[in-house]
Homo-oligomer: A and B are copies of this chain.
Amino acid sequence: MKPKNAFYAQSGGVTAVINASAAGVIETARKNKKRIGKVYAGRDGIIGALSEDLIDTSKEPASAIARLKTTPGGAFGSCRYKLKGIDENRAHYERLIEVFRAHDIGYFFYNGGNDSADTAWKVSQVGEKLGYPLVCVGIPKTVDNDLAITDNCPGFGSVAKYVATSIREAGFDVASMSKTSTRVFVMEVMGRHAGWITAACVLARVREVVDRDGYCAIAVSEGLRNREGKFLSETGLKDAFGHSQLGGCGEIIARLVKDRLKYKYHWALADYLQRAARHIASKVDVEQSYKLGAEAVKLAIAGRNAVMPVIERVSNKPYRWRIGVARLADVANKEKMMPRDYITEDGFHITAKCRAYISPLIQGEAPPPYRNGLPDYVKLKNASVPKKLPEFKV
């Protein structure tokens, strides 16, 4: 019997290591050719499945797939697109099944965050409801580190390493300049509501804080809120000239420092740089991302539907971890917040407990190859699978 093909898609904001998970999926599928046929990737995520815009990854040589382990971004394109419930939007689910049936797809791998776990879970229910056999496996990914059950999320460790390195480096810079010039440096980082990334900065700040004399380097989360719980970037604060604040909260904090304390400041907005910075990715993060992709395939081959491989921490010192399995239903749409005891009473530092949690995740360097002084990232051919169905309006 010819083995079923697999569909793999990347979802939501991409990371420095999501392609390592893709490599894990594709290389493991290639090692199991008797159980899995071709791996088709969705062009621009789940939209590629709905629009029958499939990429035939079998056209890529092994060398190109291997290079995904050192290439940031989403190699097949990602999307922010959330499928509604099957009762609200039956047409989309029927279309998915139609496409999967047309291309003999029996495995569905969805690589993303909370929303994506929800989508993967919904798709996993489709098989039964519409009478099509399909094994759905989620693969965790989010720099926000806010997925339930898994100890940590692939993508976070590398952002943590980037921001901790950056705030340390900027700290060395502003320390030099503080006598006559900049006294405060503010860096705005990602992390939405959960605050994980901001906390990671403190890892690098500890020594600077101790030695601190006349300067300060601060990391603020884009999700910073005021006492009333409103996002700082939505509060309509006005600057000293009465102009309303347009910028993110990094700039708001920096201007507050200047207006209130009269200190000269500099501020940085790392934005996509932090989650794309494959050049300074965490080795642990790369390894976990790859392993989660590989394990997702093994779960699928074992016929485990509606699950997601997760990271389980075995010990902190030495850091040891293993792969566990969660039910997608338990992961979908949940947001894991940073535990209160990871943050000091005053709210400005992380605790030893938090440090013990984050530190292992940034260990090790896994630099990409360089060519002519720049990281040599791969661009895949991304050859299309010929369409078999009429067009469908997504």
Contacts and interface: CB of A to CB of B under 8 A. Distances in A.
B282 A373 contact: yes
A172 B367 contact: no
Taken together, the copies of this chain in the complex come to 2
Interface stretch (A55-63, A88-96, A176-184, A306-314): A176-184
Contacts of A240: 180-181
B375 A168 contact: yes
Contact of A372 (B275, B277, B359): B359
Nearest to A370: B365
Q: What is the interface residue range for chain A against chain B?
A: 35 or more
Given A173-B14, A375-B165, A47 B180 contact: yes
Contact of A277 (B79, B169, B276, B370): B169
A210 to B, nearest CB: 11
A259 to B, nearest CB: 12
A333 interface: no
Given A166-B273, A169-B72, A266-B271, A80 B373 contact: no
Interface of A: 10, 13-14, 16, 44-45, 47, 71-75, 77-81, 161, 164-166, 168-170, 172-182, 185, 187, 203-204, 207, 211, 239-240, 246-247, 251, 255, 266-273, 275-280, 282, 359, 362-365, 367, 370, 372-375, 377, 379
A278 B168 CA distance: 10
A173 B73 contact: yes
Nearest to A13: B177
Given A181-B239, A269-B267, A169 B373 contact: no
A338 B180 CA distance: 29
